[in-house]
Amino acid sequence: MVSLHDIAKRCGVSTATVSAALNGKIQGVRRDARARAEQIVAVAQELGYRPQAAARSLRTQRTGVVGVLLMNHSGPGGEAIHPHQYELVIGATNALCAAGLGSMLIPMDRIGGDEHRVFQQQMLDGLIAFGHLSDEVEQRAVSLGVPVVWADSHRLDAHNCVHRDEAQAGADGVALAAAQGYRHLVRIGPPQQDARWWRERDIGIVAAADRLGVTLSRREQGADTCEAAEVLQAALGSHGALLCENAYVLHGLLAAVAASKLALGCDVPCVALDDSATINRSAPGVSRVRFNRHRLGQRAVAMLLAALGDEPQASQVIPDTIVAGTTLPALT
């Protein structure tokens, strides 16, 4: 690794002079001094000098690192059961890299005896918090005293929040089915929750169904599991379709249909209110309302960069995209 001492030795000057030249502190003085500064910069570039992050942080009072905080409720074996969050993370970390910032991934859902060291030391310039974190974790994040952007969380603050338009997604899913002639929707999803995403999607679904004359029923499903496709088909009747409430249930439905002799669409009509990068690749024909999680992560970074510049932005809502697909054939 090239050091200031190496550059100073090559140029025949002191390390203090090298430091001043590389930090632009010799501009506006004598012509010969400016020429020497340009020579020092050229030598530094030739040698491949890269400033040390630690030294730069002492000078600027910035670490150049942003924390990416996300929930990590885990299953019996310790595995993460919210894998779609990582689509958000990829969008955010790519945007941070493009902005010349590093990122620190902080997966946690509660504060315990093994509290993450980021909460014990001043290590971050800012924080992006993804998902529905516990109140305790949120309060601890705020206590760091750095700008925080809340992305895809239950918070609806006036500034520094970015989330999906869940109510519109629910309404759009019902409207897509109604336009194809379906008058009954069997909702399949997890047990009813107090999470913001579930409440708002439910409001959108019920309001649109009332407006369009669509009746609703509901069957609870587990995460990434689903009832047999034949059982769900029998529940639809002649004018019904399935309404998958989230991507996890859609994964389960796709597996259930694959294990049967039925086909999604002609045998089991379906519209989904969410998807994932995996579904986009493996089952692109699913009729669905989708969100670009990658773009949401990018939007969160743009909002944080504005906050770091002391220009907090008003909270934003990410719109959905309707994918007509092939799993809602028109009823004759």
CA distance 133 to 135: 7
Q: In this structure, what token pair is assigned to residue 71?
A: 């929930």
| pLDDT number for residue 277 | 80
Shortest CA distance to 247 belongs to which of 88, 132, 131, 84?
Answer: 84
Give the burial string for 58-82 (b: 16+ CB within 10 Å, else e): eeeeebebbbbbbbbeeeeeeeeeb
Map residue 188 onto helix, strand or coil.
strand
CB 70 within 8 A of CB 89: yes
> According to the model, what pLDDT value does residue 42 have?
85
pLDDT score for 5: 85
Distance of CA 106 to the CA centre of its chain: 14
Task: Enumerate the β-bridge partners of residue 74.
Answer: 80
Where in the chain are all domains bearing CATH 3.40.50.2300?
65-164+295-318, 166-291
**Integer Cα distance of 327 and 241 in angstroms:** 9
- Mean pLDDT for each consecutive 10-residue tract of the chain (332 residues)? 84 85 62 78 81 50 81 56 76 90 77 56 84 84 89 91 94 97 94 85 97 95 80 90 92 91 93 87 92 91 91 91 94 82
Nearest to 185 by CA among 244, 226, 120: 244
CA distance 187 to 278: 22
Instruction: Identify the pLDDT of residue 227.
Output: 87
Domain 65-164+295-318, architecture per CATH: 3-Layer(aba) Sandwich (3.40)
Q: Tell me, what's the pLDDT at 50?
A: 67
Say which CATH class 4-51 falls into. mainly alpha
pLDDT at 57: 47
288-290 and 321-323 as β-strands: parallel, antiparallel, unpaired?
Answer: antiparallel
pTM: 0.76
Q: What is the pLDDT of residue 24?
A: 64
Task: Give the per-residue pLDDT at 107.
Answer: 76
Per-residue model confidence (pLDDT) at position 29: 52
> What pLDDT score was predicted for residue 123?
76
Comma-separated ranges of CATH 1.10.260 domains in the chain: 4-51
Q: Which fold has domain 166-291?
A: Rossmann fold (3.40.50)
